[in-house]
Amino acid sequence: MRRTFSRQCPHCTRQVTWPDTPTYPFCSERCRLIDLGAWASGAYRIPCEPLDEEEPRLATDDPEGEGETEY
Ligand SMILES: [Zn+2]
């Protein structure tokens, strides 16, 4: 059984249908690349970035830490 999907393009909010649109959920290759470009430039948070080698080390015993209170 074939199903079709329909949703808005995340970039320009045009209605996109699948499988009619191979670039689903984007309306076009252009919107897809623009959105990927946004990812690459850090507009979105990537949960598992492979670039954690240069991550600055934070002090672990900062008294004004992350709001954790010790009783
Ligand atoms: Zn679009």
The structure's pTM equals 0.51
What CA–CA distance (Å, rounded) separates 6 from 15? 7
Residue-level pLDDT at 52? 60
**Spacing, Cα 30 to ligand 1 middle (Å):** 7
**What 8-state DSSP symbol labels residue 46?**
-
User: How deeply is 52 buried, as exposed, middle or buried, from its count of CB atoms within 10 A (0-12, 13-18, 19+)?
Assistant: exposed
Give the domain ranges of the chain: 5-40
**Spacing, Cα 53 to ligand 1 middle (Å):** 35
**Spacing, Cα 21 to ligand 1 middle (Å):** 11
* Mean pLDDT along residues 12-32: 94
**Spacing, Cα 31 to ligand 1 middle (Å):** 5
**Spacing, Cα 20 to ligand 1 middle (Å):** 14
Is domain 5-40 annotated with CATH 3.30.50.10?
yes
User: How deeply is 40 buried, as exposed, middle or buried, from its count of CB atoms within 10 A (0-12, 13-18, 19+)?
Assistant: exposed
* Mean pLDDT along residues 26-36: 91
